Amino acid sequence: MFYTNIDTAEIKRRIVNFRERAKKGLNVNDCTSEISSIFGESYGFPTEPKQYEANTIFYRARVIPDNDTVLPLLTMRKVADAWEPPSKYVQTQGRLNAIGQSILYCCPNDFDLAIDEAQARNGNHVAVMVYRARKSISVSVLGDYFNSNLPKDDLSKVFFEFLDEEFSQIVASGDEGRYIITQAIADTFFNFPEQDAWCYRSVQSPTKFNVAFLPGKQSESLELSGVMICDLRLSSLGKLSVKTVVDFDQITGVARYHRIGSAQQKKLFPDLA
């Protein structure tokens, strides 16, 4: 159960004040300090870590530009292209990452959600990366309080409702600085020993959840099964039109493309027709 040295009315007043200040802009340090102070000078809260079982499949998608048509694709030439982007290319604040901080965002068991998260539906082709969990994945869940087994007393509700509301905010393009708040919440309240990732509700599809791996945890938690190059014009929800599949040389990391029906395709993705 949540406990604090201040009452519910004072917490609600501090939340209102914090949100007013947030509209004017906050830097990371100020945001973390202010969020920590909302709930009192001394407080504690319950947690409910969850697990994804070993061998769970995770997906990530990348748009393939319409002018990238010759194999090997410029989008997918080496194994690094199938993981999180290099830090130097992370130029905007993300929901859970700072500018210049690269983390791997994935969708568990749902390639359609991965495509939606990549905002790839308007394109012709997409690369769908397929990862398999090497082990049980420990996650902190953000934004699913009412479906959890956490206490539902008044103080706990105020605390978790604030966190849920912040994570459900739709942030417009160009206003990514507001993600400082969700990053601060994750780092302050949902960063525990032995944790591998955060699990949070998708804005693209609010009934579903994404997983973002803590920096450095993705490679020890996941193995890359391969990449599917898909034609979205011939795909439908729940079914991908896969044109070719990709694996990578274990020594050089160079991409190797395999046609559908080949022995290597059947080894990588035996369920593909």
Residue-wise DSSP of 109-148: T-HHHHHHHTT-TTSSEEEEEEEEESSPEEEEEES-GGGS
Q: What is the pLDDT confidence band of residue 273, given thresholds at 50, 70 and 90?
A: low
Report the distance separating Cα 163 and Cα 152, nearest Å.
14
SS3 helix, strand, coil % of the chain, rounded to 5? 30, 25, 45
What percent of the chain shows pLDDT beyond 90?
65
Mean pLDDT across the chain, nearest whole number? Answer: 92
Q: Is residue 112 part of a domain?
A: yes
Residue 33 domain flag: no
Predicted TM-score of the model (pTM) = 0.92
200's enclosing H/E stretch is strand 197-201
pLDDT tier, 47 (very low <50, low <70, confident <90, very high otherwise): confident
- What does residue 250 show for φ and ψ, rounded to 5 degrees? -70, -20
In sequence order, the β-bridge partners of residue 230 are 126, 242
Q: What average pLDDT score do residues 115-122 get?
A: 93
**In the structure, what pLDDT confidence band is assigned to residue 90 with cuts at 50, 70 and 90?**
confident
In a domain, 109, yes or no: yes
Residue, of 92 and 111, whose pLDDT is higher: 111
147-152 average pLDDT score: 91
In a domain, 87, yes or no: yes
The predicted model gives 25-35 an average pLDDT of 83
- 12: in domain: no
Q: How many separate domains does the chain show? A: 1
Asked if residue 254 is part of any domain, the answer here is: yes
Distance CA 80, CA 74 (A): 12
**Domain, as residue range, for 120:** 60-93+102-135+215-268
143 within some domain = no
The string of pLDDT tens digits covering residues 220-245 is: 999 999 999 999 999 999 999 999 99
- Examine residue 191 and state whether it is found in any structural domain, yes or no: no
Q: Report residue 201's pLDDT band, with 50, 70 and 90 as the boundaries.
A: confident
